[in-house]
Amino acid sequence: MTAPLRPRADLATHEVFNQPEPRDSVALWEGDGPLRAAVARLAPDEAPALARYAAAWGAPEAVEDGRAANRFAPELRPFDRAGRRIDEVAFHPAYHTLMRRGLEGGYAARAWSGAPGGHVAHAAMVYMSTQIEPGVCCPMTMTYAAVPALRATPELAARWEWGALSGRYDPASRPAPEKAGLTFGMAMTEKQGGSDVRANTTRAARDGEGWRLTGHKWFCSAPMSDAFLTLAWTDKGLSCFLMPRWTPDGTRNAFQLMRLKDKLGNKANASSEIEYHGAWAELVGEEGRGVNAILEMVHHTRLDTAVAPAALMRRALDEAAWWARGRSAFQKRLIDQPLMTAVLADLALDWMGALAAAMRVAAAFDAAERDPAERAFARIAVALAKFWSNKRCPVVAYEAMECLGGAGYVEESPMPWIYREAPLNSIWEGSGNVICLDILRTMARAPQAVDALLGELRGARGADRRYDAALAEAEAALSRGPHESEARWIAERLALLLQGSELLRHGDGAAADAFCRTRLGGDWGRTHGALPQGVDAARIAALI
């Protein structure tokens, strides 16, 4: 027998060196000083629970669950083995584990517990969960956001709200009364209308105490939800309905999954195309005022789409900083190379601004019930935060990926899924132009929202001359009334002012100074890292 070949020690070619030490967990709480500081200021009593939530989501097994849920896509199963129509979706076990971890940790229910800081805690949970696997966040976010929409119709809330607030995850496909917990979805968009929901063609007809829906919906995320808020026309106009997966008599509803969307990212979430074939439903709110009824749900999902880009930026930066601290070139660690330090610091300004604005908006959601000014502020500020933070997210994700070089471009790294995920939240719940037009409409129809926003921004006046100049310019534009063609410009300026005001009052001094100098003062290049002299890049990069 021939002896096996053994490599000669003097010819070994695979010695691993100049690589960061491997890590299999993510320090979602203890490694994120700006998050901890925001929670300490806005919802201090929530800190212990959030630390536990972070430990569960950042643990090695959760990180691995995130990878598996993203890698093994859900599968459509329209029929059972005997040919009966079931219209179900099969998920990898990791998806269910993450859903259970989130819902039982309070993701959907905490905001409605009545405790001070509930929405801040919810926002922090969204922020941390998104860094591990954002696909499962969609059904949990919609479950959270369905609660205020249900409360508009007390008799519906009495029968359904318990499921969203149960703190239990029950993936079984069976009638709602037989389950330990429920999830909720939403289906508004039709292919001919897109964001113009009044172009929808789905119809609703009376059937005793309920209604029957007939139509086609172009996008329905989380189609295994137990019930869906959806729009359809009646004789009185576009109306909102709650359509359960199972009818009150215990039979499957006439709700068919046509196909699952093959998306750029968000792979774990089974976005679908659906049809109603006389599906049974109940009216939500007032007949003919469906847009108003469902906007309560949209308003709250927008909070999460304002938080998510901050989360993706944070995870991308965390990976880039880990790489830069563990790898050397030209006899220096990458993190100590001045140009790399400048790139990371510049990226950190976008992340910190996005996080600061999102948490301030979440605090306004908490205060909205008792303070009309905070309710008005939340209405416009959530749109501003969603618009601008999502515009920055893909740029930050790409630049952070480049910090890793080729190692960031392979699927073993989290950078590819972060990059694919980065555009989503700008598109979901109103793309950029839709959000900007909504901001203009709010300015015209709810002047109290503008007053509340300006009151907030003026609270930071006097802290930085560049901030003051940018605020004066924005105030002048608002006083003359921006034209529709200027909608993106005014949204961008107001969003940057909102971020700047939070950093000036509550953030790191060096970061606030650099933010105002670059984002508001215009002393900035056209790529990340093109910072002017005098910016304390090393201090800012150390905050990552």
Considering the domain boundaries, does residue 179 fall inside one?
no
Return left, alpha or beta for 429; rule: phi > 0 is left, psi -120 to 50 is alpha, else beta. Answer: left
pLDDT of residue 7: 64
Residues 434 and 338 in one domain: yes
DSSP 8-class letter at 25 = -
Instruction: Report the C-alpha gap between 212 and 227 in whole angstroms.
Output: 15
Cα distance from N-terminal residue to C-terminal residue, the chain: 58
Task: Tell how many helices (H) and how many strands (E) occur in the chain.
Answer: 18, 11
Considering the domain boundaries, does residue 13 fall inside one?
no
Residues 315 and 214 in one domain: no
Considering the domain boundaries, does residue 384 fall inside one?
yes
Residues 284 and 312 in one domain: no
Six-digit token pair at 190? Answer: 């039709």
Residues 448 and 527 in one domain: yes
User: 296-319, pLDDT tens digit by residue?
Assistant: 999 999 999 999 999 999 999 999
Q: How open is the CA angle 77-86-202, to the nearest 5 degrees? A: 100
Residues 312 and 417 in one domain: yes
User: 169-219, pLDDT tens digit by residue?
Assistant: 999 999 999 999 999 999 988 988 777 888 899 999 999 999 999 999 999
Instruction: Report the C-alpha gap between 452 and 439 in whole angstroms.
Output: 14
pTM of the predicted model over 0.75: yes
Residues 150 and 253 in one domain: no
User: The domain spanning residue 471 has which CATH number?
Assistant: 1.20.140.10
Six-digit token pair at 426? Answer: 């700008």
Beta strand pairing call for 184-187 and 227-234? parallel
Number of domains in the chain: 3
Give me the helix-helix angle, 118-130 and 338-367, nearest 10°.
140
Return left, alpha or beta for 234; rule: phi > 0 is left, psi -120 to 50 is alpha, else beta. Answer: beta
pLDDT of residue 5: 64
Residues 414 and 491 in one domain: yes
Instruction: Report the C-alpha gap between 360 and 34 in whole angstroms.
Output: 13
Residues 139 and 158 in one domain: yes
Considering the domain boundaries, does residue 252 fall inside one?
yes
| Cβ atoms 209, 241 nearer than 8 A | no
Considering the domain boundaries, does residue 173 fall inside one?
no
Residues 103 and 235 in one domain: no
User: 319-359, pLDDT tens digit by residue?
Assistant: 999 999 999 988 899 999 999 999 999 999 999 999 999 99
Instruction: Report the C-alpha gap between 504 and 497 in whole angstroms.
Output: 10
| Cβ atoms 376, 446 nearer than 8 A | yes
Instruction: Report the C-alpha gap between 107 and 122 in whole angstroms.
Output: 6
Considering the domain boundaries, does residue 22 fall inside one?
no
Domain stop point among 261, 288, 315: 288
Residues 67 and 201 in one domain: no
| Cβ atoms 126, 311 nearer than 8 A | yes
Considering the domain boundaries, does residue 476 fall inside one?
yes
Domain stop point among 288, 319, 353: 288
Instruction: Report the C-alpha gap between 393 and 312 in whole angstroms.
Output: 7
Residues 220 and 145 in one domain: no
Q: How many CB atoms lie within 10 A of CB 302?
A: 27
**Residues of the chain under the 70 pLDDT cut:** 1-11
Domain stop point among 166, 199, 224: 166
DSSP 8-class letter at 532 = P
Buried/exposed 378-388: b ≥16 CB within 10 Å, e otherwise: bbbbbbbbbbb
Range of the domain at 412: 292-542
Considering the domain boundaries, does residue 220 fall inside one?
yes
| Cβ atoms 385, 127 nearer than 8 A | no
Residues 312 and 252 in one domain: no
pLDDT of residue 10: 66
User: The domain spanning residue 232 has which CATH number?
Assistant: 2.40.110.20
